[in-house]
């Protein structure tokens, strides 16, 4: 009985940290979209949305990184957000990228993932 309770608690913690990380990714994608819409903070509501999304993304990333390894969590966060932003840019802003730009984005994001996974110690 105690084992079952402990397993449930470990399982719930893992589910929660993935949930926090997902929220952090969604709001990071929103930061990209809203910052684009805010046109250099000349549109008030998009500006508010950008700042709020940035704060929420940071907050939930912080929560997720309490249980994830920092490098791994950060690598997943930036890479999924980076790809998500390309998709959102194509869907909502009509920004279709050619293969050269797509390759460049993949190299940069791949490099960030590699950097984060290779640790800082």
- Contact set with other proteins (CB under 8 A): 31-33, 35-36, 38-41, 47, 50-51, 54-55, 58, 62, 78, 81-82, 85-86, 88-90, 93-95, 97-98, 100-101, 103-112, 114-116, 118-121
Angle at 74 between CA 94 and CA 100, to 5 degrees: 35
Taking the least distance from each CB to other proteins, the nearer of 22 and 89 is 89
Tell me whether residue 6 or residue 114 sits nearer to other proteins (CB atom).
Answer: 114
CB of 18 to other proteins, least distance (A): 21
Residue located via tokens 């590699």:
114
Q: How far is the CB of 76 from other proteins (least distance, A)?
A: 13
Q: Least separation, in Å, of the C-beta of 52 and other proteins?
A: 11
Measured from the CB atom, the residue of 7 and 111 that comes closer to other proteins is 111
Rounded to the nearest whole angstrom, what is the least distance from the CB of residue 15 to other proteins in the complex? Answer: 23
Instruction: Write the DSSP assignment of 68-92 as a string of letters.
Output: S-HHHHHHHHHHHHHHHHHHHHHHH
Q: 3-class DSSP state for residue 3? A: helix
**Would you mind telling me the total number of residues written for the chain in this entry?**
121
The Cα 42–Cα 60 span in angstroms is: 27
Residues 114, 42: Cα–Cα separation, whole Å: 36
120 secondary structure, DSSP code:
-
Indicate the residue among 3 and 94 with the shorter CB distance to other proteins. 94
């Amino acid at each position: 009985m105690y084992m079952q309770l402990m397993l449930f608690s470990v399982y719930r913690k893992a589910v929660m940290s993935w949930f926090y990380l997902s929220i952090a990714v969604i709001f990071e994608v929103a930061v990209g979209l809203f910052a684009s819409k805010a046109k250099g903070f000349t549109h008030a509501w998009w500006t508010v949305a950008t700042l709020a999304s940035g704060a929420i993304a940071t907050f939930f990333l912080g929560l997720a990184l309490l249980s994830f390894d920092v490098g791994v969590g950060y690598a997943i966060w930036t890479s999924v957000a980076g790809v998500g932003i390309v998709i959102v840019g194509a869907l909502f802003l009509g920004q279709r990228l050619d293969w050269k730009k797509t390759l460049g984005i993949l190299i940069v994001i791949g490099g960030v993932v590699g950097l984060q996974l290779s640790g800082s110690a």
